[in-house]
Every structure is written in C-alpha cells, then in structure tokens.
Amino acid sequence: MTLGIIGACLIGYGLQELFIPKPPVVEIIKANTSPSPLPTAISNIVVDVSGAVENPGVYTLSPGSRVSDALVAAGGLAVVADKNYLARNVNLASVVTDGSKIYILKKGEVPTVVTTNTTTTSNGNTTSLVSINSASESELDRLWGIGPTRAQDIITNRPYTTIDELKSKAKIPDSVFSKIKIEISL
C-alpha cells in the first residue's frame, strides 16, 4: 500500500506540472549605458523651382527630399500648370540633388529641347547634343544602346544635375554610358 501511495504521488506530481506550469525564467540583460555617438551633420540641399508654381524661387530642403517636396516648398502648382504633362513626364518621387533645377510647364507651353551644345565626331562632322533633361523619347531612342524602355527610364527619372546621374537614376549600364556620354548634355 505504501508503494501505491508513492506511485500515486509521483503520478500526481507529474500531472501537476501539466496543470500548474512553472513560472518562466526571466533573464535581465544589462543595457549598454555608454552614450551613442551623435549623427554627423548632413548639409541641406538647394534647388531652383520655377515655371508654373505659386512662388518660384530657390529653396533649401532636407537631404533626401523629393521633387514633390520642392513643389510644396514653392507653394504648389499654379492654376496655369500643365498637369497632364506633369503626370506623364515628371517623376514626383525622384530624389532632388543639390543644385537641381525644376521647371513646371504652363498649359499650352511646348517643352523645348536644348541643342545649343554641339560635339564633333571622329569623322569631323558636327552634331547636336541630346539633352537628357528635355529630349523626347524618340530623340533619346536614337542614342546607341538606348531603346524605348531606357528612354522612358531616362524621362521618368528627370531632372538630372550631371550626366553621370544616368547611371544611378536611370540605371544606364557603364558600357552604354561610355559610348553615349559625348553625345548628351543636361
């Protein structure tokens, strides 16, 4: 009988753990109390916003600001802004770089292609440079290695402040960029 009582106690003890769980073990880890270094100062960027905006001018923005932030700083779009052109050709989510120029067309205004810069080819011919900030898709498509898709990528990621930004913003490969860099301008 003593053995039966001991067995029942052992069984009861084992079942007790199922019905009454042990409290969880909590380990306290000491936090690092040394102060974290202060972030390094990042200088602001300056952009020129003009055209069909409420308050054209030069604005100081935080690093990482977008084209849309620059337009807000300029008071938003003017009533005369060509919103259809803007929706099709300006990437409002594009990050603005220091020294950028953002121009918003007015309704009825025709975008101008800047071709005042010229270059001389190896055979001595003079040719106009293609502006990556204002050329049409078909004008960009004529460049070596730029098809309709890459041309649209170039347009979508405007504005550019340097021609080298084609590689980072429009993802133009180095092999293509090295062949077209003498044929393009801002």
Name the domain count of the chain: 2
Q: Identify whether residues 62 and 99 lie together within a single domain.
A: yes
- Partners of 170 in the beta sheet? none
Residue 10 lies in a domain: no
70 pLDDT exceeds 70?
Answer: yes
9 in a domain, yes or no?
no
Residues 80 and 130 in one domain: no
The verdict on residue 99 lying in a domain is: yes
Q: What separation, in Å, do the N-terminal and C-terminal C-alpha atoms of the chain show?
A: 100
pLDDT beyond 60 at 40 = no
Whole-angstrom CA distances from 121 to 128, 135, 138, 142, 180 are 10, 20, 21, 16, 12
pTM tops 0.75, yes or no: no
Average pLDDT of span 104-133: 65
Domain encompassing residue 55: 45-104
Output the six-digit token pair for 1: 């009988």
* CA-closest candidate to residue 77, choices 54, 94, 108, 44: 54
Question: Any idea which of 20-24, 105-109, 161-165 has the lowest mean pLDDT?
Answer: 20-24
d(CA 116, CA 56): 25
